[in-house]
Amino acid sequence: MGSAKGITDSAKKGLLFPYNNWANRVAIWHFVRDIPFETNHSTLPVLQNTSKNLVNFSDTPVIACWGMKDFCFHGRYLQKWENIWPHMQTYRFADSGHYILEDSFEEVRKIAEPFLFGKS
């Protein structure tokens, strides 16, 4: 589901290991509950304030390596980010999903490392 190309058993075990019981999964449950779907949700003002202030980063270099087969953050989300930050350098990975580093690690690394280390 998260990888368009499939992941190894070793990677799957690594991704699941931290969540081997309810006590270790409860943080994810709370994270999902914090997503404001209702207009009166307690975290909505924080999300709106964050969204409003994204324009403050219009002079900040930004890249996005986007898995176009992501089941969760599909292409419409990418379009929204491109509208917010038209200066963003976007790299679309047609055959990658939500776990883009499982699908296209070397390609993403070749883009991200120079950006992060100021060599682009």
pLDDT digits (tens, 9 = 90+) for 5-45: 888 899 999 988 999 898 998 988 998 999 999 999 999 99
Domain ranges for the chain:
8-57, 60-120
Give yes or no for a contact between 73 and 98, defined as CB atoms under 8 angstroms apart: yes
Q: Which pTM value belongs to this model?
A: 0.83
Residue with tokens 């682009």: 120
Give yes or no for a contact between 67 and 98, defined as CB atoms under 8 angstroms apart: yes
What integer best gives the mean pLDDT of the chain? 93
Q: What is the mean pLDDT of residues 51-71?
A: 96
Calculate ∠ Cα 96-102-107, nearest 5°: 70
pLDDT class of 1 with cuts at 50, 70, 90: low
DSSP 8-state symbol, 1: -
Give dist(CA 99, CA 82) in Å, integer. 21
